[in-house]
Amino acid sequence: MKHKQIIKKMTLVDKVALCSGANFWRTKLMEKYDIPSIMLCDGPHGLRKQEVDGDIFNINESKQATCFPAACATGSSWDRDLVKEIGRAIAKEALQEEISVLLGPGINIKRNPLCGRNFEYFSEDPYVTGELATAFIQGVEELGVGTSLKHFAANSQENNRYSSNSIIDERTLREIYLYGFEKAVKNGKPSTVMCAYNKLNGTYCSDNNYLLRKILRDDWGYEGVIITDWGAMNNRIKAFEAGTDLEMPGGSSYFDNEIIKAVKCGKLSEKLVDETVERLLALIFRSYYNRNRKYSYNKQEHHLLARKAATNSAILLKNDEKILPLHKSQKIALIGNFAKTIRYQGSGSSHINPTKLTNVYEVFQGEGIDYTYYEGYKENGETDDILLREAMEGAMQCDKVIVFAGLTKQLESEGFDRETLSMPNGHNRLIQEVSKTNSNIVVVLMGGAVITMPWLEEVKAVLHMYLPGQAGGEAIVDLLYGAVNPSGKLSETYPLSYIDVPSAGFYEKGGKQAQYREGIYVGYRYYDRAGINVSFPFGFGLSYTTFEYSDIKIDMDKEEIKVSILLKNIGEVAGAEVVQLYISDLQKGVHRPEKELKGFSKIYLEAGEYKRITFYLEKRSFAFYDVESKDWQIQKGDYDILIAASSRDIRLRKRITLEGTITPAEQVHLKGTWYEHLCGKPEKEEFDKLLGWKINEQKSITRKNYTTEHSIMDMQGSYFFRIIYLLIRKYIKKKSGIIDNSDPTLKMILSSSTEVPIKNLSMLSGGKLQRNIAEGLIQIANGRYIEGIKNLLKRKN
């Protein structure tokens, strides 16, 4: 009621103004209405609070905060309680820094392993994604800090992310790309949802009435605030109609005048503006008062939590002859630059300034371990004969060899996609050469995404840390020497080669038209049904102990199905196991994966201990999205309940029969297509059949038809914009102080400045690029020089 009274007092101009930020991080302060300003902050893996209002150039300058493991790591923990605990810790730090909304978690599906931002996401599987996102949101929001579930939706690539068009059939959209969001929205109840930059089936997400109002608000009942990704607003009038509330960043007032005109002439209902303002006021007042609760967190306690998270998320991929855990009496060759310069986090908007940072080299010194260090390769991943020879000679003189390798910061980041699944050549060469001189090789991997391992057969053990956060050095030593038993499992499949990836061949060549041709067959859903050999399957991870699965029981009633099993630790040390439950639909009416994950539980057991684990399945667990009825349906018939240690390690199986609500006929229009047999790659014509409509070819961008919808990179056909590109690159280097062209931060800032539509660049600049200047530049590029110059000379509009 209070909010409605404030709205009645507000002028239209002020209501519209409140719907965009004050600057890069804050909402507008309106003292005459007693409306406070709140601050939003990056932070899926820790707080990135900039000391000043900030901009894109200061991306690595922020206050110290605990850097927890990235989502690629915590996604491998499969540990809801751990992820919730991390969320709660970050919320405490947010309270101390008077932050109202934390911009996370990021939960986009790892559709393709080349996506440069995969390190920020949990999984290729929507069930794991939704469960862990829910846990994180609950942990943060319990303390009164808001979250922002992102990026909604189908934002699974970085190349052309500002204007790419994700083309997806309705069933795939619902089952794969929206399912995790749906679980997190309904069960986690985030304060805000952040819409993505990209288009979805031809409509920008910020304008997408079907996505935001029909699905998010009407179908899922979401009542919170929808904010844009920074600079993602496309058409503010359509955005109001779709239910988008807050445009970020602020400072440009780019759309304000046209919104006011639209309301006054009846093109836009003022009621929609009022609804948006009411949602914003609810968020602002609630989070402002929570924010003002003084709080101080214990840095050491949070560092220890980061250490715990890193150990619980690590995956033991190989351990031949039980070479691990190591013994402190052994002489160790410590090889690889990462042992000293640890790769502990990703680049971009999630970059954290840690309160403390540990590496293995320093921890070894403190532990009194007998070791010798060899650099092996330079920080950029390159090596030479001298570095290789030193490492090889050192390895010959030691009992065991630990080689640190993975992905350097130059290879993955927000803002651009990877070009290959390979590690740097220097890392691969180092492992291959050292393995010739000592057979007792342990490889410790660090990096945020899938890699190929051409040396896998030549080493005895592989411990995968992903990006382990600020306590990674201590965590690695804990794991190598058995103080902690590895318990992580892969939340994404590791293919043998890129050509095996279902979206390979069109993902990396998609340009601005991202065709999701593989449909529902993402990750293990494809590999397992197609029978493709992989390096490591989804859900895989070894332990220093052994677990026995037995005694599956199923109880069925009308509302839910209860599945329980007995798990026993039959090894000699304590450890944790991730028990996975998959469902296999044995009917032939609708094309479906061989199996789909519908439950998991992480259980810690002492040696010799056993526990009964119970899963509860809803009817929705067995359903597929039926496009014709526009609802979730169940096929009548038999289903297998599979209890597994990975998607390819089924330990127990039991069959049940369901009545179902539908017995669909064979999908005739897909008969004989790739979706029936999964051989080769899906062709465009087959994808058209899946979509139910024909995709138009991408139109080439030519001079004379440039608009503010186009980016500087789009307009490189114009000599004028080629000059502008060079000037911007020079300016960015000077402003950021970065001169290395391979630096990921430089590449991200450059892509954010030159790949974004010109109108969005005006927003990202906080109004520094005025609307008349943007339009004038376009007119000049189109050869309309006089009009363009007149626009450039206009006063600020």
Distance CA 556, CA 346 (A): 45
682 burial level (CB within 10 Å; 0-12, 13-18, 19+): buried
> Would you tell me how many other CB atoms lie within 10 Å of the CB of residue 257?
13
Distance CA 682, CA 675 (A): 8
Separation CA 81–CA 234 (nearest Å): 38
Closest CA relative to residue 744, chosen from 119, 62, 121: 119
Q: Which two tokens mark 20?
A: 């965009």
Instruction: Report how far residue 744's alpha carbon sits from residue 754's, in angstroms, rounded to the nearest whole number.
Output: 15
Question: What are the backbone angles phi and psi of residue 82, rounded to the nearest 5°?
Answer: -65, -45
| CA-angle at 600, arms to 521 and 45, nearest 5° | 85
Name the nearest CA neighbour of 492 among 104, 67, 71, 157.
71
Residue in the structure block whose two tokens are 């304590």: 574
Q: Distance (Å, rounded) from C-alpha 336 to C-alpha 313?
A: 22
Assign 468 to helix, strand or coil.
coil
**Choice among 79, 125, 169, 229 that is catalytic:** 229
Residue spans of beta strands (DSSP E) within 393-492: 400-406, 441-446, 461-464
| Cα distance between residue 443 and residue 460, in whole Å | 8
Within its chain, how far is the Cα of 167 from the centroid?
19
In 3D space, the residue among 279, 232, 229, 283 whose CA is nearest the CA of residue 254 turns out to be: 232
Taking the CA atoms of residue 621, residue 624, residue 626 and residue 629 in that order, the dihedral angle to the nearest 10 degrees is -10
Give CA angle at 495 (489, 497), nearest 5°: 150
Query: In the annotation, is 229 catalytic?
Result: yes
- Which are the catalytic amino acids? 229
